Structure 1
Amino acid sequence: MTRWSLDDLNRRLVRYADLIPCRTAFVDTKTPGSTEKENFTIIGPGVSENADQHVHIAEKHGFNIGGARQPFGCINSQHSHDTAEVFVVHSGRWRLLFGPNREDGSIEVGPGDVMSAPTHMFRGFEKIDDGKGFIFFVLGQDDPGKVVWAPAVLEAAAENGMRLARGGRLIDTSQGDYVLKDVELEDVADADKLASLKTPPLEKLRECVVVYGSAVANPQSALAGDGVEEAGVIVPQRTSDRFEPGPITGWWPHDFNLRQLTLQSGAFVPRHSRREVEVLFVHEGVLEVGWEDGSIVMGPGDTMTVPVGLPHSFRNTSSARTVVFVVRGTENPSLPTFN
């Protein structure tokens, strides 16, 4: 059996305080209203258009983990994804905006709320309360592709010197007398493409939201115990670890499950291992992850990827409850093995 040292596991931990942002990740970087956003790639390459974007953990997981931090009024422009995009709000209040020109309605979300945005539709988001806020993202597949921008976004970007080469490579023409030579630019979505990215009805999109505190604990969860609850948030199908579909199932592939694990003060999950990838994101409280050769204490905003097959335990070492969002690889996770 592989032995995992403290150094090994620390390399699989990304603390919130150590996140390295990119302020020039996307084509709207210099568009007024979007200049203050910070983008993060935590696990996997994400969808950044800037080769200088720092990737914290490059190991393939079958999905990508990222984040965005924005101040009041800052907008992440209208775009569409080819794979799943899940928003987990860590802090702040946000407005999710739908349609190529934000004309198809909006949904407001706050700390702990989750939305899975359907593929092949335009969405954007803006921070709507004071101070900075942070959203944790899960993107489907190892290669989530590149985003499709609404035509108005590309037009505004070009007016501010930012262009996209074919394949999604960012070009900054704002400095000096830059001339585009031998560069094939990315196509702007035409009428047929826009029609294929039609926004579902707003009431349908509301089915893709789970308000914090509304997820129902599953008493059949293998992790459930004294002071410990696990609730499904995104469960596309009935799973081998005894979860029924919902509350978010989606009519598009996710390729993962999202769960909410809650531990009351002092609660403990005995040592167990899993057959699939497991990524932990601490939303509130403190979580101690222990294994044979050490332990790590995680705090709010910290992300950790647990090695497949590693026997590990969870403990809430604080006097308040701990809430952790857990991404489990595959749409059909197996039961854990208790060691």
Structure 2
Amino acid sequence: MTPAEMESRIVRYGDLMPCKTAFIDAHTPGSDQKENFTIIGGGVSESPDQHVHIAEAHGFNIGAAGQPPKCRNSLHSHRTAEVFFVLSGRWRFFWGRHGTAGEVTLERGDIFNIPTDIFRGFENIGNDYGMIMAVLGGDDAGGGVIWAPQVIRDAADHGLVLAETGKLYDTKKGERLPEGVAPMPVMSDAEADAYPAPTTADVIPNYVARYWDIVALADRKPVKVIGATGMLRDKPGFEVDLITRASATEAMHRHDRQSVLMPVTGHWRVSWSANETYRAGTTTLAPGDTMSVPAGLDHSAVPSMTGEAALYHIIGTDDAAGPTWSAS
């Protein structure tokens, strides 16, 4: 076997291919300027136009959302974990049946392990285009998105209909549901009202970690941000660590499954040894780049320039991908 090139496992920020029609709210005013990205795994897009950069199953999905100021993502829910960290911009996350149960504002590097089975949305409240990176639990991301009923009703007013197959159809373009395919069932208002609506005080201490708090703890070794023993104690089917300049090491190491490197700040030099599949090599990752490291490959990651440097490291676990919300 000829050794493969590692570049095929790296998705550069500048090469990300957005989809502007990924979800049912793509035509709804206030949500119609957002861009969605599927970086690793199949994601949860409802559009056949969504480009998948790395389709290989990792036990979790990596995606992203890019939005101009005042653009919002509509209220929805997932059955598996949805974790966001802010790459750029200033973001308000809100949740509850009508998005009024609680909210939190996040900035660069902050991370939010959004509880499963609650309605949530988010908007860019900064002055420039912003990007948030996402980790979704499971290879099938829980079977897709569960929309609040008002979102589906609003979308229909603007021509978009979601089929029971999870595919979008644009009636303003003359598209119709295929014969024998029904619309996606819309939950009743009573069913939606029964969803949990935790308060801000319920959520922030257990599901939000601030970037500078994590960095302060990563002065000697990487910090486990999400995991059974993490700052945010949870077992969503993957673990998230933060590595900083102070806790990075040149020592080579390996994992028994694929892992993912996602810089938040600084430039990182990633080196790896040769094996029967991959040539030895070195590359540099910048904020917004995503690298999938193969299982069993000896590698290291260290900052390559002076200044602030931190990256998130994600690896799957054998834990179930959800649920994660608990009123306790």
Give the TM-score normalised by structure 1.
Answer: 0.86
Q: Where does residue 224 of structure 1 map in the other structure?
A: none
1:183-332 alignment runs, 5 A limit: 183-206=181-204, 207-215=206-214, 229-235=221-227, 237=228, 245-250=229-234, 253-264=235-246, 268-292=249-273, 293-330=280-317
Post-superposition offset of 1:217: 6.7
Say if 2:13 and 2:289, in contact at 8 Å, map to a contact too.
yes
Whole-angstrom CA distance in 2 between matches of 1:232 and 1:311:
21
Deviations 1:251-272 (A, max 9, x none): xx5001010000159x642111
CA 1:217–1:329 in 2, change beyond 3 Å: closer, same or farther? farther
Root-mean-square deviation over aligned CA pairs: 2.0
Post-superposition offset of 1:277: 2.2
Letter in 2 for 1:322: A
The answer for unaligned runs of 5 or more in structure 2 is 274-279, 320-328
Consecutive aligned runs of 4 or more in structure 1 exceeding 3 Å deviation: 2-5, 178-183, 216-219
**Identity across matched positions, percent:** 43
1:163-178 alignment runs, 5 A limit: 163-176=161-174, 178=175
- Residue number among 61, 79, 90 corresponding to 2:76 in the alignment: 79
Higher RCO (C-alpha 8 Å, min separation 6): 2
Deviations 1:99-125 (A, max 9, x none): 232121211111110001111110000
Say if 2:177 and 2:183, in contact at 8 Å, map to a contact too.
no
- Residue number among 146, 159, 162 corresponding to 1:161 in the alignment: 159
Post-superposition offset of 1:179: 5.1
Deviations 1:24-65 (A, max 9, x none): 000000000111100000000110001221000000000000
Letter in 2 for 1:169: K
Say if 1:268 and 1:316, in contact at 8 Å, map to a contact too.
no
Post-superposition offset of 1:284: 0.6
Whole-angstrom CA distance in 1 between matches of 2:313 and 2:295:
14
Q: How many residues align?
A: 310
CA 1:3–1:112 in 2, change beyond 3 Å: closer, same or farther? farther
The answer for unaligned runs of 5 or more in structure 1 is 220-226, 238-244, 333-339
Whole-angstrom CA distance in 1 between matches of 2:251 and 2:134:
28
Whole-angstrom CA distance in 1 between matches of 2:216 and 2:298:
24
Q: Secondary structure at the match of 1:158?
A: helix
Whole-angstrom CA distance in 2 between matches of 1:162 and 1:181:
14
Letter in 2 for 1:247: M
Letter in 2 for 1:248: L
CA 1:255–1:4 in 2, change beyond 3 Å: closer, same or farther? farther
Q: Which moves more between the two structures, 321-330 or 32-41? A: 321-330
The yes-or-no answer on 1:117 pairing with 2:114 is: yes
Say if 1:85 and 1:119, in contact at 8 Å, map to a contact too.
yes
Letter in 1 for 2:223: A
Q: Which moves more between the two structures, 9-18 or 189-198? A: 189-198
Structure 1 or 2: larger helix share? Answer: 2
